[in-house]
Amino acid sequence: MTNLNKKAVVLVSGGLDSTTVLAMARQQGFDCYTLSFDYGQRAHGELAAAKRCSKLLGASEHKVVELDLRTIGGSALTDDSIDVPEQETSGIPVTYVPARNTVFLSIALGWAEVLGAQDIFIGVNAVDYSGYPDCRPEYIEAFENMANLATKAGVEGKKLSINNPLISLTKAEIIQQGIEIGVDYAQTVSCYQATEEGLACGKCDSCRLRKLGFEQAGIADSTHYISV
């Protein structure tokens, strides 16, 4: 299935969405190079899940880039003085990490140029996106336009594409499609405050959306939760 002339960089967090995207890219015949970030996030255990899922889904290489976004803070995921909310909130939630997707996509763009890849995959979603401004389709479109203006590849006519196959899907639809192509969601970690072992709290926004997705999909939730 793999086309060695069809490389793609896939952003993976170890979570449900990005793992599904990786499986989709592999199904489309891409030779996948997965990219994760150790950016000072609370849920450090998600990095082990990203590495594990990359291997299970046949990525050619998995790379972890270290950043320290705790130096600027501003998010419940990177600042211990801000609590992760366990109740629904309105507006842009405190779990939004300032400019995170812009930073991540920029580094993915650089690696894509080095690899000679013209495709980047990201698991952003505008339906269940929790209010994050950098998960909207207009943002992805704008970044793709910038990518083709700001790179040697783009200037030379090698169009770079930012693929976001989950952008208009509900969480239930994502799970259903993932199951159909063989994703083992028990291997993924989506929780904002997961333990080092990858156990989910079951209370944060991410856990609530994930739980609801499994319920609406009519599929048993294989998530590993903290015992209470």
Edge to edge, what strands does the sheet with 30-38 contain? 61-66, 30-38, 3-11, 119-121, 161-163
Q: Is the pLDDT of residue 4 over 60?
A: no
What average pLDDT score do residues 66-94 get? 88
Distance between CA atoms of 60 and 55, rounded to whole angstroms?
Answer: 8
Where are any strands of DSSP class E within 26-157?
A: 30-38, 61-66, 119-121
What average pLDDT score do residues 16-20 get? 97
Q: What is the pLDDT of residue 90?
A: 72
pLDDT digits (tens, 9 = 90+) for 181-198: 999 999 999 999 999 899
Domains and CATH numbers, the chain: 3-84+91-184 (3.40.50.620)
List, as one string, the DSSP characters of 173-199: HHHHHHHHTT--GGG----TT--TT--
The sign of the torsion formed by the CA atoms of 112, 113, 119, 122 equals positive
What average pLDDT score do residues 116-136 get? 87
According to DSSP, residue 42 is labeled S
